[in-house]
Amino acid sequence: MRPPSVLNTLSPHRRDQERTDMTRHAVVTGGTAGIGRELVAQLIEDGWEVHCCGRSRAALDELAAHPRVHATPLELRDAHATAAWAEQLERATDGRIGLLLLNAGVQHEGPHERRTPASIADEVAVNLTAPALLTARLWRALRAADGAVVFVSSGLALVPRTDAALYSATKAALSSFATALRRRPERGVAVTDVLLPMVDTAMTAGRGDGGKLQAREAARAILAAARADRRVGIGRARALPALAWAAPWLARRVIR
Ligand SMILES: NC(=O)c1ccc[n+]([C@@H]2O[C@H](COP(=O)([O-])OP(=O)(O)OC[C@H]3O[C@@H](n4cnc5c(N)ncnc54)[C@H](OP(=O)(O)O)[C@@H]3O)[C@@H](O)[C@H]2O)c1
């Protein structure tokens, strides 16, 4: 870092520029609960300026109490509101985003023939459309910061669950999207998709056998993998990318 005496000789404009250059901006969708909330907490500890969104007012107010957290109420099913948030982010970060964590997600369970049109639209909009839209709008800012985007996917992307067929399909699409972005030459942005096993959050309440990963551990692993620039299996899902290819029957036993 530049010694203060030198910084003091810079013009006010240049000093502002220096400050912006030193500020690391991270964006987290779904920062209000579960894994996202842990991601925000760990990013703050690591010195990042964190921009996050969610719907729960109480959780947003609590997050916004931290001086380095900018918490925005946002319905991710609303594409116009999501695009407007992206514009706001570009301005607030001076067009330089170091880390984009596309974490928000929703899962509806049950036999697919009983699903309502609204729940189908909800799952696709939150799990796939919103991440695709934010990636498009924030790509330039990620490039400018030599940044990284992380798609929070699931082991179910490779081993779909029969009672969460559409959820599994949205995660498969998200991981496929990440693969395609990675193959672009000259991209200047690290692209990682993380395959999570079952994590102990509201999403999995009442399920699992006690072997669930804690949200804090999941967040730690996601941040450790953030610049991996490849598909990363976490916890029980670590070997999944290889297993799903070589021994699909074994992969199905690893992810339930
Ligand atoms: N838990 C698991 O076992 C597991 C396994 C594999 C992958 N994942 C993935 O990990 C990610 C995080 O999951 P989680 O377990 O932490 O879930 P969670 O505890 O249910 O939290 C979901 C987050 O997404 C936000 N969100 C959901 N719908 C939204 C919408 N329409 N508009 C704005 N924000 C919305 C929620 O905000 P509000 O509460 O404020 O609405 C909340 O912050 C998801 O992408 C999930 O698919 C989870």
pLDDT in tens, the chain (256 residues): 333 332 233 333 444 444 455 679 999 999 999 999 999 999 999 999 999 999 999 999 999 999 999 999 999 999 999 999 999 999 999 999 999 999 999 999 899 999 999 999 999 999 999 999 999 999 999 999 999 999 999 999 999 999 999 999 999 999 999 999 999 988 899 999 999 999 999 999 988 877 899 999 999 999 999 999 999 999 999 988 888 777 777 777 777 6
pLDDT of residue 252: 75
Whether residue 7 lies inside any domain: the answer is no
Nearest residue to 108 via CA among 167, 158, 168: 167
Whether residue 9 lies inside any domain: the answer is no
Give the full edge-to-edge strand order of the sheet including 69-73: 69-73, 49-54, 25-29, 99-102, 148-154, 190-196, 231-233
CATH number, position 90:
3.40.50.720
Establish whether residue 199 lines the binding site of ligand 1, counting it when its CB lies within 6 angstroms of any ligand atom.
Answer: yes
Establish whether residue 34 lines the binding site of ligand 1, counting it when its CB lies within 6 angstroms of any ligand atom.
Answer: yes
Nearest residue to 152 via CA among 131, 167, 169: 131
Whether residue 15 lies inside any domain: the answer is no
What long-range pairs does 180-183 form, CB within 8 A, spacing at least 24? 181/135, 181/149, 182/229, 182/230
Whether residue 32 lies inside any domain: the answer is yes
Enter the pTM of the model.
Answer: 0.92
**Minimum-distance ligand 1 atom for the alpha carbon of 153:** 7
Number of domains in the chain: 1
Nearest residue CA, atom 37 of ligand 1?
Answer: 54
Pairing label, strands 190-196, 231-233: parallel
Structural domain that includes position 183 = 23-254
Whether residue 115 lies inside any domain: the answer is yes
